[in-house]
Amino acid sequence: MAKRLIGLLTCLSFMWVMGCVMPSAGRAGLDAVYPPDRAQAVVQVAETRNLEAIHGLVALLDDPDSGVRMYAILALKRLCDEDYGYRYYASEADRAGAIERWREALRDGSVHVVAKRGPENGPGVEVIGAVRR
């Protein structure tokens, strides 16, 4: 019985370490440990048009994972119709200037979330909320 229990615990521990079974609290949110989880959180922010998460998206522009950076700028472009010259694939030094432009825009209140675009609401942009620091 003890050997079975030890074997089961060993197996579960191995699965947890390998990512097959993960605690849900550690997987959610823009600050998740794993890059795919951060990217998924970015997608959710963009889909729900969460104004409160704009600061988190801007923070992810400096993420070590290029995929997360790509999702973050795509979400910001979709939500705010702006990129401030940011390129997720650029060098860290080149990205720094654009990230600072995003932060400055947040500080001065010039970041606005725009309405969804599409054939049903025409090509124009309608501001639905301003984001401030």
Per residue in 95-130, pLDDT (tens digit) is 999 999 999 999 999 998 887 655 554 554 445 455
Token output for 45: 């922010």
Per residue in 22-38, pLDDT (tens digit) is 333 333 599 999 999 99
Locus of tokens 């605690």: 23
Mode of pairing for the β-strands spanning 127-131 and 111-114: antiparallel
Higher-scoring residue by pLDDT: 115, 59: 59
pLDDT on residue 114: 87
Give the Cα separation of 106 and 52 in Å (integer).
12
Coil, strand or helix at 1: coil
**Please, are residues 38 and 63 in contact by the beta-carbon 8 Å criterion?**
yes
- CATH 1.20.140.10 is held by the domain 27-131: no
Per residue in 80-96, pLDDT (tens digit) is 999 999 999 999 999 99
* Domain ranges for the chain: 27-131
pLDDT on residue 1: 59
Lowest mean pLDDT among 21-25, 51-55, 76-80: 21-25
